Structure 1
Amino acid sequence: MARKADESGDRQFVRRVLIVLGLGALFILAWQLRTLLLMFFGAIVVATVFRAFGDRLEKAIGCRNGIAVALSITTILGLAVGLIALFGSHVAEQVEILRRTLPVAWHAFEARMGDLGLGDQIKHIAQSIRAPGGSSLSAFAGTVLSIGSGIADVIVVIVAGVFLATQPRFYLTGAVKLIPPAKRSLALEAVSESENALRLWLRGQLIAMVVVGLLTGLGLWALGMPSAFVLGLMAGVLEFIPFIGPILSTIPAILLALAVGPDQALWVLLLYFAVQQFEGYILTPLVQQYAVDLPGVILLFALIAFGILFGTLGVILAAPLTVVAYVLVKRLYVIEVLHTPTPIPGETKG
């Protein structure tokens, strides 16, 4: 009996060691494939956009869901291609002007700071941003400044998003089968709540991006700024990234304005400040029905953490990742494990 007990204990120990080793190997594999996993989440975000618009079309024209989603994908991609065809050459021309004038504007900025006795400090800040090492915040700054690359990755994400949007039930059923049967209904409920919160956040964010981009572009055009269209487009796109995005969109405009003169730079700075104040105090309350209430501190530190850990793609997807993670933690841990009632973001909004 003692021998059998020892053998059983040995088998139990070996089994636990193998489980630990397997989990460790799985973690290492996931870390090595972290960029791919983030791209998969990006495809989920794209699919959510397609399906949200498809649901609107289904209610509006009364067609089947599959047809509505197909119309949604065709409409959104067709609109994107049409905009590129109409304004692509104009955007490319302004981007080229921006590429040529920004270095000149930066040198003019350095010269002005040198006249004020701040030249060495500005050079030190610029070197810390360019440096491959440095502190975590300087690495994060270098990451966010490289946004704009990875066109091939974007295409892959869009194609994968199309597949996910057309057959969501197929992929969701396959994923849920990996979960123990007793917890599958809970998993489906958590996924549904996460999707609802993500849809609401994307809807509100899209409205903010369009309004901020239009106001910024028109304001810069009125001020006589070069590349006003591209700078407005940049402001709208970077609005997708909380906190950091508006700051990043302001930098090239200020540099270009400084090449003209301090007065122009002041007017441009006031324009960006006014647009952000309008977005914060007027636009946000108007779209409050689409808002997902997230603690600002959590979103800020999540943005920095994802940027340091995963690079540019982590910065871009930090906000939607935080929305989904926040809902899952509340639903699966706070409510189910701790048995503490707590509101789920977006659960009372349609």
Structure 2
Amino acid sequence: MSGQTESGESRKAPISGDRSLGAFTSRLLVVVVIAALAAALWRIINVLVLLFGAILLAIGLHAAARGLARRTGVREALALAGVAVAGLAAFGAALWLFGSVMAVQLSDVLKVAPAGFKLVMDQLTGNPYGRQFLDQVRGINVAGATGWATSVGGGAVGSITHALGYTVIALFMAIYLAAQPDLYRHLCIRLVPPAHRLKAEHLFDAIGNILERWLVGQLVVMCTIGSLTGIGLWLLGIEAAFALGLMGGLLCFIPFVGAILAAVPATLVALTQGPGDAALVILMYAGVHFVEGNFITPLVQAEATSLPPVLALLSTVSFGLLFGPLGVVLAAPLTLLLIVTLEVLYVQQGLGDPPEDPLSASGVRSREDGTEPLA
């Protein structure tokens, strides 16, 4: 009997060892597959960021189509087609009416801005403190700096071309996403375990709601800043005023940093007309953003949402380092995405805290289980 028992145990031991080896191999394969997928995703991270931009555009298109359908009584599909056609028609009409003027003015900005930069460098080199500052900056000189500015001006055309190409791709993706939002939403929800799908649906609603409200607020701010800036520069007699106003409005999509980026070329252009004009331009920009920060933005925040200044700056720098220029442009909505995800999944679901607005006027609300989307 003892011999039979020993032989039975000896037969079981290899089987148990084989099972352990098989389990280890399976886990190792899972780890390798996950690592490979992570590496592949990182290789196409810019494509994923572009997809997020398309989703952001789709949210705006769907919101506009939903509003039009509610007011006219037509189906959302027809309303979306109307919004897309109207948007393209408006863009084409603006391009036909003002395209040549804007092209000439943008060309003037690219030509004049390096001259303004050279004037700044000449002023610095003519001052002992300025020369000391330049000496502390390694490898800088007037000729090299001016050449750099000129090359940046020329390279800006290529950057604008790439940006327009990405915008067209994102726009077409956004139209398809807005046309069938339930289809793509369902595909994403199917990837979530059945027990957590209700929470995932609530999270999607929350993210869509806050991004929609943020888009509305940004659109109001951009139109206001662009109009005020263009009119102000025109009244001051600054060259290419409307092109600089358009640039100021578009760059306001990037919170805080965009305002500084918009003021730099306008100041350089004004500097070629005289230091007094440059000072007036700086004062004009300060006045416009004072009005925006103290009157326009508070009114917008009452119905929309925005990021605190420190968080906006940190997110712009962080996403810019991670994803480049596209990360800078989409830093604010990406940050809102992270904030709402943490609020719904971690703070409400994980910690069990009652629903609370993570941002001013963000509108996070909850049903009885604390997972209600943004109101």
* TM-score, normalised by the number of residues in structure 1: 0.90
1:58 aligns with 2:69: yes
1:312 aligns with 2:329: no
Are the structure 2 counterparts of residues 160 and 98 from structure 1 closer, same or farther at C-alpha, using a change threshold of 3 Å? same
1:206 aligns with 2:223: no
Residue 256 of structure 2 contacts residue 312 of structure 2 at CA under 8 Å; is this kept in 1?
A: no
Residue 109 of structure 1 contacts residue 259 of structure 1 at CA under 8 Å; is this kept in 2?
A: no
> What's the CA shift for 1:148?
3.4
Q: Which residue of 1 aligns with 2:364?
A: 347
Q: Kindly report which structure 2 residues correspond to 1:7-156, keeping only aligned pairs within 5 A, or say none.
A: 7-117=18-128, 118-119=130-131, 121=133, 124=137, 148-150=160-162, 151-156=164-169
Q: Which residue of 2 aligns with 1:194?
A: 207
- Computed over aligned residues only, the root mean square deviation of the Cα atoms, in angstroms, reads 2.4
Distance in 2 of aligned mates of 1:127 and 1:16: 55
Total equivalences in the alignment: 337
Q: Which residue of 1 aligns with 2:337?
A: 324
> What's the CA shift for 1:149?
4.5
> 1:273-297 CA distances to partner (integer Å, 9 max, x unpaired)?
0111111001011212333253433
Residue 146 of structure 1 contacts residue 312 of structure 1 at CA under 8 Å; is this kept in 2?
A: no
Amino acid at match of 2:78: I
Amino acid at match of 1:271: M
> What's the CA shift for 1:252?
0.7
Distance in 2 of aligned mates of 1:104 and 1:126: 20
> What's the CA shift for 1:106?
1.2
> What's the CA shift for 1:104?
1.3
Distance in 2 of aligned mates of 1:116 and 1:16: 68
Distance in 2 of aligned mates of 1:160 and 1:42: 9
Structure with the bigger RCO (C-alpha within 8 Å, sep 6+) is 1
Q: Which residue of 1 aligns with 2:370?
A: none
> What's the CA shift for 1:22?
1.3
> 1:98-149 CA distances to partner (integer Å, 9 max, x unpaired)?
1211121111111112222314635838969x99xxxxxxxxxxxx999635
Q: Which residue of 2 aligns with 1:268?
A: 281
Deviates further, 106-115 or 190-199: 106-115
Q: Which residue of 2 aligns with 1:136?
A: none
1:5 aligns with 2:22: no
Distance in 2 of aligned mates of 1:314 and 1:95: 24
Distance in 2 of aligned mates of 1:179 and 1:343: 25
> 1:198-227 CA distances to partner (integer Å, 9 max, x unpaired)?
000000000000000000110000000000
Amino acid at match of 1:35: N
> 1:308-350 CA distances to partner (integer Å, 9 max, x unpaired)?
1111111111111111121112111221122222425333676
Higher Cα Rg: structure 1 or 2?
2
Distance in 2 of aligned mates of 1:242 and 1:127: 30
Distance in 2 of aligned mates of 1:36 and 1:285: 35
* TM-score, normalised by the number of residues in structure 2: 0.84
Amino acid at match of 1:96: S
Q: Kindly report which structure 2 residues correspond to 1:158-177, keeping only aligned pairs within 5 A, or say none.
A: 158-177=171-190
Residue 204 of structure 1 contacts residue 287 of structure 1 at CA under 8 Å; is this kept in 2?
A: yes
Distance in 1 of aligned mates of 2:216 and 2:251: 16
Q: Which residue of 2 aligns with 1:215?
A: 228
Deviates further, 41-50 or 71-80: 71-80
Distance in 1 of aligned mates of 2:309 and 2:20: 50
Distance in 1 of aligned mates of 2:324 and 2:297: 29
Amino acid at match of 1:346: G
Distance in 2 of aligned mates of 1:125 and 1:239: 32
Q: Which residue of 2 aligns with 1:134?
A: none
> 1:211-248 CA distances to partner (integer Å, 9 max, x unpaired)?
00000110000000000001100110000001210000
Residue 124 of structure 2 contacts residue 131 of structure 2 at CA under 8 Å; is this kept in 1?
A: yes
> What's the CA shift for 1:4?
3.6
